[in-house]
Amino acid sequence: MPPPAPFHPPCPLCGRPMVPGPSLNEHHLIPRTYGGRDTVTMHRICHAKIHTVLSEAELRDHYHTIASLRAHPDIAAFLRWVSRKPPEFIDRHASGRGRRR
């Protein structure tokens, strides 16, 4: 009998399992710059997308809930794309290139 597969809680943003390790990150719902203290654990790639799309002021004013983040058109498109990727997927090319869409 194989051991039971470990349970990994779903990412609040994309809903894929969160496997402990370098593919995970903490996001401040209210940016620390504005005194936010509450964090949520999510995929590093999901987290990077949030900060690619939204400024800290936008996060503070309009996107400080998971529901509002998921409703953003750019993030919704990303979630459709990332849903086909493995849970521990890290896009090494996603940051640092200044790619604009």
Chain positions contacting Zn ion, by CB under 5 A: 11, 13-14, 27, 43, 46
DSSP strand pairing (39-43 vs 24-28): antiparallel
Question: Toward Zn ion, which CB reaches closer, 38 or 93?
Answer: 38
Nearest distance from C-beta of residue 85 to Zn ion, angstroms: 9
Nearest distance from C-beta of residue 64 to Zn ion, angstroms: 11
Two tokens, residue 14: 């994309």
Nearest distance from C-beta of residue 40 to Zn ion, angstroms: 9
State whether the Cα torsion 55-58-64-65 is positive or negative: negative
Helix (H) or strand (E) holding 83: none
Question: Toward Zn ion, which CB reaches closer, 3 or 45?
Answer: 45
